[in-house]
Amino acid sequence: VDARNPEFVDVRTLAPDIIVEMRYAGADNFVGRPIAGYDAPVCLLTRDAAAALAAVHEGMRASGRAIKVFDCYRPTRAVADFAAWARDLGDQRTKAEYYPNVDKAQLFELGYIAERSGHSRGSTVDVTIVDRASGAEIDMGTPYDLFDPRSWPSDQSVSADAQANRRALAQAMRTYGFTPLQEEWWHFTLENEPHPRTFFDVPVR
């Protein structure tokens, strides 16, 4: 594998109507600004992961739903940018929205921020479900990227509807080979990912 030129594809080439809202390419995220390495709001994935995600999206068509992606391939320089932000304890601008119940000094210890991310291998996605007609996100109990135990898929404090919606998303993703993460309802990794030990740093553009 050429780490400078991995064979990533834009998921929209396989699913043209999938909704792409790459949060880290803009300022609407827990850092509050565009993140290093995100030069364009494009969902890049390995071809295997892109094909599987396109299949999940297509499978929801009959029920009037669709997939929205928040993050896909993530360069390692972006992960380093997150880590640097987490160490800057003076920057608390996004606390009320993204980590109201967590001390920023504990973000590493609690696993919300890490020095490495599976996203950098190109087969991990952050997604939710939307109503296809309106584009509105269905209720998942918490917003994307809320650093809180309520974001765990197994959390019982969110509404019954939200719990059911989380299960529906996980089941749809599992059907096409994705494995969920126990701490984030939105996070899934292709089980048979093609680059399980390679962390890429090519910018998203």
pLDDT in tens, 87-126: 999 999 999 999 999 999 999 999 999 999 999 999 999 9
Other beta carbons less than 10 A from residue 93's beta carbon: 12
Question: Any catalytic annotation for residue 115?
Answer: no
In a 10 Å sphere around its CB, with 0-12 CB exposed, 13-18 middle and 19+ buried, how is residue 74 labelled? Answer: buried
Question: Quick one: angle between helices 160-175 and 47-59, nearest 10?
Answer: 130
Alpha-helix runs per DSSP H in the chain:
47-59, 76-87, 95-98, 160-175
pLDDT at 57 over 60: yes
- The residue from 183, 184, 191, 193 that is catalytic is 184
**Interval 61-86 mean pLDDT:** 97
